[in-house]
Amino acid sequence: MTDTTNTSAKPPLRIALAGLGTVGAGVIRLMEANADLIARRAGRPVVVTVVSARDRLRNRGVDLSPYAWEDDMTGIAARDDVDVVVELVGGSDGPALTLARNAIAQGKALVTANKAMIAHHGMALAQAAEARGVAMRFEAAVAGGIPVIKGLREGAAANRVERLYGILNGTCNYILSTMEDTGRDFAEVLDEAQQKGYAEADPTFDIEGIDAAHKLSILSAIAFGAKIDFASVDTQGISRILAADIAQADALGYCIRLIGTAEADAGPDGTPGLFQRVAPHLVHFDNLLAHVDGPTNAVVVEGNFSGRLLFQGAGAGDGPTASAVVADIIDIARGMDTGFEADMAFSIPVAGLEDMAPAPSGHRLGRSYIRFFVADRPGVLAEITAAMRDAGVSIESLIQKGRAGEGGEVLVALVTHEGPESAVSEALRLLDGSPSIVGQPLVMQILGA
């Protein structure tokens, strides 16, 4: 049995930290505040030896004087006083990717919070790490401080995951839940989110669903033993959601949330595939996810023996994300004593990950919310309902409401009975080009209790 009681007798684990933004500064604060606790749990002292960032003079609210400084962050992996490289620079390519490749090539363990880099280059990096015999960890890349990757890799390891779904972007969740609480429209709430620091100056990655799609593709790889396929994630953001949609959803017993969903799904011909989608949904008030408000993340994992597991907590911020980063460092330190520090980043070797084809969505059964803006003239409702009838869409309820200040346009929202998604697509095709329809209809799937 390994003795971990005398941590000072073992050499420290030496950390190079690249990127000193909100999370990087949070890592330093956490490691300083909890140094003794971390050492006991890691079985050895864990110390930062060198740091690097773009701007050496910027005030980050932490004392950097105890650490060596490197102007060229891509070269810190070559230093002799480094065992683990922590990459917190961000971006799918550029210096972050160069640093990650250099760290692995130098035989240094890699810890990263970079979801975009893992989504685009995770397979190649993991394969290189396996070949070099070093650990690669990225818990902080998905859902901040929530240990959902650890939960999938370890806690649910004996299960066949049948489906995972959840709220993967705190910015969108803050915007939607604030619209719900205040009745304000999207643009106004987005501006407030930017002022409060919940949204970036350029919020495109968040509000168009790209950030959530990065995270979903990573979770899918671990959950289903599949190669990461970010390009196949069907992605739709929240920028077209109106206060009127929120109000109609509420009247029907639902809220609106941006939901990422992944499940193994055979197509109509029985060919196995992987379905991945990020899109706004109507979520029933009795569903667990309907009560996830503000900048919070939540992931539901359904295993064939474990049943439904819920992971919920802060999806971003310096404290939660730094917590996940340091947890990965502690795991690496523990692995140095057990000989398993180079375990597989995606639970199984990269060579064993399946190349799962994107599953089509047309045959999937569900209920839909469809919102139109139409010209206020006779016959429009008949035209819409006729298109639904001809496409085989059964209407459960229909709401018509005027839109103030829009020159006679009328909001028409309908909810369908359960049916194939292809039928809704066909109905919209039949209505395409109609002079009665103003703008593009909005379709949201419905997530029940």
Q: What is the CATH number of the domain that holds 443?
A: 3.30.70.260
Length of the chain: 449
156-173: buried (b, 16+ CB within 10 Å) or exposed (e) per residue? beebebebbbbbbbbbbb
Q: What is the pLDDT of residues 352-363, one digit of tens each?
A: 999 999 998 888
For helices 35-42 and 22-33, what crossing angle results, to 10°? 80
Q: Please identify which of the residues 10, 115, 215, 227 carries the catalytic annotation.
A: 215
310 shares its domain with 322: no
Q: What is the CATH number of the domain that holds 212?
A: 3.30.360.10
CA dist 9 and 7 (Å) reads 5
Q: What is the pLDDT of residues 432-444, one digit of tens each?
A: 999 999 989 999 9
CA dist 114 and 88 (Å) reads 7
Q: What is the pLDDT of residues 73-87, one digit of tens each?
A: 998 999 999 999 999
Answer yes or no: is 24 within a domain.
Answer: yes
209 shares its domain with 77: no
Whether the per-residue pLDDT at 258 is higher than 70: the answer is yes
Backbone angles phi, psi at 69, to 5 degrees: -115, 135
Contact at 8 Å (CB) between 131 and 342? no
Answer yes or no: is 88 within a domain.
Answer: yes
- Using CB atoms within 10 A of its CB, is residue 425 exposed (0-12), middle (13-18) or buried (19+)? middle
112 shares its domain with 156: no
Q: Which of 265, 286, 303, 298 has its CA nearest to residue 421? A: 265
Answer yes or no: is 136 within a domain.
Answer: yes
DSSP SS3 for 198: coil
Q: Name residue, tokens 């773009």.
A: 54
Q: Does the pTM of the predicted model rise above 0.85? A: yes
Contact at 8 Å (CB) between 52 and 76? yes
305 shares its domain with 375: no
Q: What is the pLDDT of residues 188-247, one digit of tens each?
A: 999 998 888 788 889 999 999 999 999 999 999 999 999 999 999 999 999 999 999 999
Domain count, the chain: 3
Whether the per-residue pLDDT at 52 is higher than 60: the answer is yes
- Name, of 109-113, 315-319, 337-341, the range with top average pLDDT: 109-113
Q: What is the CATH number of the domain that holds 45?
A: 3.40.50.720
CA dist 287 and 298 (Å) reads 12
Answer yes or no: is 359 within a domain.
Answer: no
Domain that holds residue 265: 149-314
196 among known catalytic residues: no
Whether the per-residue pLDDT at 1 is higher than 50: the answer is no
234 shares its domain with 157: yes
229 shares its domain with 248: yes
